[in-house]
Every structure is written in structure tokens, then in C-alpha cells.
């Protein structure tokens, strides 16, 4: 919640997945907090307000994109993907999920690239470029 408050205070737009930690969808009392969005069977929009222990509130827009499982990981039915966003005017739930997926892929690629990158003290640009190219090849293998 502090991260969201900071981003809103500095007027930075964001898209992030919503983490659900309270009562699950299959609880007999019903879902609570952000788990209510995981019960949706159709894509849509909503707003949600978090309140912390100090009674500070943060309001974000919620985007739920439901997709078919299609037998992946031996599952059938609908899978809701829940995102919180602020400072954007998305055109569709598909746009929100694809934008987040694309950004997450970039961050994952950089993390994996740095895991395979050779550490060197050489200042020679050809050698450094060679090492980056080698790291990319290792990542793709």
C-alpha cells in the first residue's frame, strides 16, 4: 500500500497484479477483500479502496481479465487475472494484461541476462559486446 501511495503522490501511472490474501473464493462465508474479484467469470472494471491500520486510504482502479484455461496445467474453466492501475485510461482488459505481461517479460529477460553475464574489468567495447552476446546465447539455450 505504501508503494501505491508513493506512486500516486509522485503522479506516476502504474499497472500491477493484485495479491489476494484474505478469504478465498471457495470459502463458505464467501470471498473477502480483493478475492471478490477472483470470483468474477467475465472481464470488467471496478474500483477498490485499501485502508491500513492508521486509517489511511488508497483507491485504485481494478481491471479483471478472464481467460479460458483450455486444459493448461490440467485445469478447465475461467481464470481471472486481476490488476490494479492508476493514471491510465486503458481501452480494454486485454490491453491491461498484455501491457503488464510485456513489461514483466522485459524485467525477466534483464534478470536472466545478468545471471549469465560475464563480469569483467576490461574497457574494450568489442570484448564487452562479445560477452553480452554470449550471455544472450546462453539465455536462449
End-to-end CA distance of the chain: 39
* Count of C-beta atoms within a 10 Å radius of residue 15: 20
Q: Which residue has the cell 539455450?
A: 141
User: Does 131 have pLDDT greater than 70?
Assistant: yes
Q: What is the pLDDT of residue 140?
A: 75
How many Cα atoms within 13 Å fall on the side-chain side of residue 72?
6
Asked if residue 24 lies in contact with residue 31, where contact means CB atoms within 8 angstroms, the answer is: yes
Mean pLDDT, the chain, whole residue set:
85
Q: What is the pLDDT of residue 35?
A: 84
Q: What is the pLDDT of residues 64-82, one digit of tens each?
A: 999 887 766 677 788 899 9
Q: What is the pLDDT of residue 121?
A: 83
Backbone φ and ψ for 76, nearest 5 degrees, come out as: -130, 160
Q: What is the pLDDT of residues 84-109, one digit of tens each?
A: 999 999 999 999 999 888 877 666 77
Q: Cα separation of 45 and 16, whole Å? A: 15
Q: Which residues pair with residue 83 across a beta bridge? A: 17, 63
CA 68 remoteness from chain centre: 19
Report the range of poorest mean pLDDT among 7-21, 49-63, 69-83: 69-83
DSSP state of 29: T
Q: Cα separation of 115 and 139, whole Å? A: 9
The full set of domain ranges for the chain reads 1-90, 91-141
pLDDT confidence tier of residue 10, bands split at 50, 70 and 90: very high
Amino acid at each position: 500500500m505504501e508503494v501505491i501511495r508513493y506512486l500516486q503522490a509522485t503522479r506516476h501511472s502504474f499497472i500491477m497484479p493484485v495479491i489476494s490474501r484474505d478469504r478465498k473464493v471457495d470459502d463458505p462465508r464467501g470471498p473477502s477483500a480483493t478475492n471478490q474479484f477472483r470470483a468474477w467469470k467475465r472481464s470488467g472494471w471496478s474500483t477498490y479502496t485499501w485502508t491500513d491500520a492508521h486509517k489511511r486510504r488508497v483507491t485504485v482502479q481494478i481491471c479483471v481479465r478472464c481467460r479460458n484455461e483450455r486444459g493448461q496445467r490440467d485445469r478447465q474453466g475461467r481464470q481471472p487475472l486481476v490488476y490494479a492501475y492508476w493514471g491510465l485510461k486503458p481501452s480494454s482488459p486485454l490491453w491491461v494484461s498484455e501491457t503488464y505481461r510485456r513489461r514483466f517479460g522485459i524485467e525477466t529477460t534483464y534478470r536472466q541476462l545478468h545471471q549469465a553475464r560475464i563480469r569483467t574489468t576490461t574497457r574494450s567495447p568489442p570484448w564487452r559486446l562479445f560477452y553480452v552476446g554470449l550471455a544472450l546465447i546462453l539465455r536462449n539455450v
